[in-house]
Chain A
């Protein structure tokens, strides 16, 4: 089977009996093993995956009803908890931890009869934009293995781009799905805050974290989103609105669609190739019947600063539970008292970027600084949300670049956190506003590195952004290009 076959194509082949789930699973595992030098996978759950695939084949043969993704191999970001399968969030702190429960999204994948083949690498605790912050090694970009895949869901983006799996789950806090999707030339969607349950997503910044789908086509992403989305009694912040049929929402032209183009997203410092590709995409959207609406999101310039206060404040709290007492890394050194146990375990278990953010967030919440930082940032967050509300009164979706640059070289910015943080300048605002946004391939730079187009919708605008992304994708050929793969596996 073609490693770049879509989930839709695989489902058709499974239904017609051309291929079995076991064969697809074996092939996916083989590609993952053969592509190990990418560093995308932290753990392959071979036995469990094959057993599940065999069960799907048996039930299909018996004519039993099957779920929406029956027999399709899927990868899961290691930030997401999987019962019986090691889950580390890319951190030494959780090395060897085998969760006793499943995240809600993993339950839903299993209920849909998808075959989870393993866990995907990522920046530690989802903190990073390059996937150089994993405790278990960097992930390389399948288009150019000297470059970053983006982050923090770099393993998910790379595994999908390289054809290991057609679908993967990521998490997005400030761009961690969209940015690696853009840098790896695949489709990635950050749902509206609350559209997908966070139960079992290891918390980085609770008010921002969302689980979302990766795929190589918009239709595949729509299909996976339909499985993931929905209310969950275990997550108070999960939205209760019914889940539409995202796949059925695709199709039709874009006549009458108003596409907002925020001026703040086309600024100096952006690579020329990125701007050119995104502007070309805008022209193509016009060609499909859309009208471009130039507008302004005036508080955009405060977004990165606001994000790095709120996200680090929440992270400093969420990561307090890693104390070496009940689970996770505990120092082997002699300790003088309980405080020493905490200090040593945390000093050894967390990486530098995680420590940096815990310290920043602790400071922002400290007595005497809370009003100036955390409270002020919350106020700015409200202003950013209002920016979007005003914009969506004038347009249906916003179209922007995802990242100001294409994939940078491994090690290029790893020692410059500020420059690294600025890579998320275009993805952070809609995270703060709780909107939905999707990254869809819109071209390549001179070096053959992918460029992504971001389509931002209002809260619960998933159908809308997917429909626009799909119309654009169908009118272009970008999604048909794939990185070179290992010939032996094919």
Chain B
């Protein structure tokens, strides 16, 4: 049998760090990149006698995400203790939600290779992160950094609806885009603030039952998820076709080697001994809070992208680029609303503006060119006051000197569109360049580019290029 006879069944559990200033059960800060073990307090350390107190902001962010993806919000959810021993887990248990998560159900819609697909969510729950073990191979010692311990997370648990690595990558990207757009998480994958565990099994196409699955732990890049799943699916198919059996186990992705490796078998699986945490009250969520959060929800990136395509006539690609962040999309709408041609606005933003910001190491939130300033420039192009070419010079001056487009035009003058003036300039250039005129007339019409350049030079770049082109051809033909 070939791989075409098999299908994969994949479900992702995504962990996203919530964008709170302090930890989920104490006041210690959540900042990243500090020296080890500075963002800690007696609660983080799990010192005897300490107690957790729930961070309300974390609850609000979880509700915000839940509402945005169509979850039911549990009005009385609960925290439970999940027990296991590990040096980066100070209390010997993780406070998580088990039987009564804060968000139930929901769905994620995304596009996989141009096809719209909707994948169901099981639940979204709140929990605390663990710390970090750092192994030093030189000394053979392990060090523990508890800065991350107690950082608030949402775990977004998907149904096993994904059928390919492409599905999984598109789904993970869609979730990432949503949490970032909502401000629920910064989504920083390099810092481990957005990562997933992938559960995967294979079955023969047409089968409906699920087979034994493996879990690939802690994958923190879209590319790794795709590659790890490709590998794992192929491994499982090959194993079964050779008469073997998939073992339920936890595996890790080794990107350098391009393989998944067994980390822990089922026989070593933990009995987590969940029970409701008696230190924390039931999380009561009242209607007013839910409605206030609902009223504050922004348009989701995908919805906005579709609206940009529909209302502004943008291509899917352009709309996608412009909705990569809420700030960028807001900027675009600010410009597009003030000019005639939204596509021109899109081109300027995706071209000159983003290139400049990139070069300057800035982002759209700190752009020196406001949406209104760019709109003013584009309006001058649309009014033919300046040519696109002049506009680039104007834009450069706006960036470097902070001038407005109108002031720049007042100083440098607008473009020359007067037919007579252009004709005079053209005639003068043709008179002065007899050899090139002869070349043209002998059929080498490429030389017209040179002649256009000469006219532009003569008019100090201000002549309307299209008019120059037309006038040149006309005058040249007249000399034939």
Residues of A bordering B, CB below 8 Å: 80-81, 87, 89, 94, 97, 99-101, 103, 198-203, 205-207, 233-237, 313-314, 316-317, 319-323, 325-327, 338-339, 342, 362, 365-367, 370, 374
Whether B368 sits at the interface, judged by CB under 8 Å, is: no
Asked if A362 contacts B281 (CB within 8 A), the reply is no
User: Which of B1-9, B84-92, B332-340, B403-411 lies at the interface?
Assistant: B84-92
Q: List 17 A-B contacts (CB under 8 A).
A: A99-B48, A101-B47, A206-B278, A206-B279, A234-B51, A236-B53, A237-B279, A237-B281, A317-B81, A319-B92, A321-B46, A339-B85, A365-B83, A365-B274, A366-B271, A370-B273, A374-B275
Contacts of B92 in A (CB 8 A): 317, 319-323
Among A100, A207, A314, A326, contact of B46 (Cβ-Cβ < 8 Å)? A326
Excluding A234-B53, A338-B86, A367-B273, 18 further A-B contacts by CB distance (< 8 Å) are: A100-B42, A202-B48, A206-B278, A236-B51, A236-B280, A317-B93, A317-B275, A320-B85, A320-B91, A320-B92, A321-B90, A321-B92, A323-B85, A326-B90, A327-B48, A338-B87, A366-B273, A370-B273
Question: Are A99 and B47 closer than 8 Å at their CB atoms?
Answer: yes
Interchain nearest-CB distance for B126 vs A (Å): 15
For B51-83 the 0/1 string (1 means CB < 8 A from A) is 111100000000000000000000000000101
Known: A320-B93, A323-B85, A323-B92. A314 touches B278 (CB 8 A): yes
Interface SS majority for chain A = loop
Is B357 close to A, CB under 8 A? no
Whether A365 lies near B273 (C-beta < 8 A) is: yes
Given A321-B92, A323-B85: A203 in contact with B281 (beta carbons within 8 A) = no
Least CB distance, A100 to chain B, in whole angstroms: 7
| Contact residue among A94, A101, A365 (Cβ-Cβ distance under 8 Å from B275) | A365
B300 at the interface (CB under 8 A from A): no
Q: Which residues of B contact A198 (CB under 8 A)?
A: 51
Q: From residue A273, how far is it (CB to closest CB) to chain B in Å? A: 38
Contact present for A199 and B49 (CB under 8 Å)? yes
Q: Which one of A89, A327, A365 lies within 8 Å of B47 (CB-CB)?
A: A327
Partner of A326, one of B45, B51, B280, B281: B45
B50 interfacial contact with A, CB 8 Å = yes
The distance in angstroms between the C-alpha atoms of A310 and B87, with both chains bound, is: 27
Contact of A325 with B48 at beta-carbon distance under 8 Å, contacts A236-B279, A320-B92, A365-B275 already known: no
Contact of A81 among B48, B53, B144, B271 (CB under 8 A): B48
Task: State whether A236 and B281 are in contact (beta carbons under 8 Å apart), knowing that A199-B50, A320-B93 are contacts in the complex.
Answer: yes
Contact-residue size bin, chain B (C-beta under 8 Å from the other chain)? 20 to 34
Residues of A within 8 A of B275 (CB): 313, 317, 365, 370, 374
Give the Cβ gap from B279 to chain A, nearest Cβ, in Å: 5
Most buried by A among B81, B271, B273: B273
Q: Report whether A103 and B45 are in contact in the complex, using a CB–CB cutoff of 8 Å.
A: no
Task: Report the minimal beta-carbon distance from A349 to chain B, rounded to whole angstroms.
Answer: 13
Complex interface: chain A residues within 8 A of B281 (CB): 236-237
Q: What residue of chain B has the Cβ atom nearest to residue A327's Cβ? A: B47
Considering the chains assembled together, what is the distance between the CA atoms of A322 and B273 in angstroms? 17
Partner of A321, one of B48, B53, B273, B274: B48
Question: Known contacts being A317-B93, A320-B91, A338-B87, is A202 close to B53, with CB within 8 Å?
Answer: no
A200 and B279 CA atoms in complex are apart in Å by 13
**Given contacts A202-B49, A366-B271, is CB(A236)–CB(B85) below 8 Å?**
no
The smallest C-beta distance from B321 to any residue of chain A, in angstroms, reads: 46
Q: Which residue of A lies closest to B50 (CB)?
A: A199
Residues in chain A near residue B46, CB distance under 8 A: 321, 326
Contact status B54-A317, CB under 8 Å: no
B133 to A, closest residue via Cβ: A338
Q: What is the distance, in angstroms, from A246's C-beta to the closest C-beta of chain B?
A: 25
A203 adjacent to B271 (CB under 8 Å) = no
> Is B83 within 8 A of A103, CB to CB?
no
**Most-contacted residue by chain A among B83, B93, B275, B280 (CB, 10 A):** B275
Contacts of A235 in B (CB 8 A): 51, 53
CA distance A245 to B234 in the complex (A): 73
Q: Name the residue on B nearest A82 (C-beta).
A: B49
Whether A199 pairs with B93 at a CB distance below 8 angstroms is no
A207 to B275, CA, bound (A): 12
Inter-subunit contact B91/A321 (CB<8 Å): yes
Contacts of A316 in B (CB 8 A): 273
Residues from chain B with a CB closer than 8 A to the CB of A203 are: 48-49, 279
Smallest distance from the beta carbon of A338 to chain B beta carbons, Å? Answer: 6
Q: A236-B279, A237-B281, A339-B85 are in contact. Are A317 and B273 (CB under 8 A)?
A: yes
- Output the least CB separation between B77 and chain A (Å): 14
